[in-house]
Amino acid sequence: MKVPFKPGTMIYPLPALMVSCGTMENPNILTVAWTGTVCSDPPMCYISIRKERYSYPIIRDSGEFVLNLTTEALAYATDWCGVKSGRDVQKFEALHLTPEKGQCVAAPLIAESPLNIECKVTEIKELGSHDMFIAKVVAVNAEEQLIDASTQAFQLNHARPIAYSHGKYYTLGEKIGSFGFSVKKKRKSR
């Protein structure tokens, strides 16, 4: 039996990402879970940020940011960057994270992240509590050891990614299928 529940954003779990912004000389990191894919061709994504966040004007003014996928090993840093402000602390230094130069944007990559997605903002939508930064993906930087040599597929599952759900962080579970498994024809045995 279902019962009424207060209206809210109940779409969980979500990726917990560290978003880097600024420059190599003056970098910052914020944690976001309000993020996702907008389009695959051209590749586009979004992040939603409150206007009062320290990173908001940095991203608005520079028009760029980097999505850094997080892992179990980065869980502490992911949470810490979500509760501490760049107004008060230099997060890369405090967490001993390594800023790394990207291919197309001035914002640094987080070297410890297995996948960095460089983005350029195309539109900012004012929505309410958060503004949505819609961005075009201009470069992707992947940890070479996570790329399957035979298929060239990126295997994030080997990096132990984390997700966010109702204020908690989780690792991902077992694979239960692949895209199209529900309609795949079964091979006849001889």
- pLDDT, tens digit, for every residue of 82-118? 999 999 999 999 999 999 999 999 999 999 999 999 9
| 107: CB partners within 8 A, 6+ apart | 20, 21, 22, 23, 27, 62, 64, 65, 66, 118
Query: Helix, strand, coil: what percent of the chain each, to 5?
Result: 15, 40, 45
pTM (2 decimals)? 0.92
Q: pLDDT category, 30, cuts 50, 70, 90? A: very high
- The CATH homologous superfamily to which domain 14-171 belongs is Electron Transport, Fmn-binding Protein; Chain A (2.30.110.10)
- Domain boundaries in the chain? 14-171
**Over the stretch 152-176, which tens digit does the pLDDT of each residue have?**
888 888 889 999 998 999 998 888 8
- Determine the pLDDT at residue 116: 97
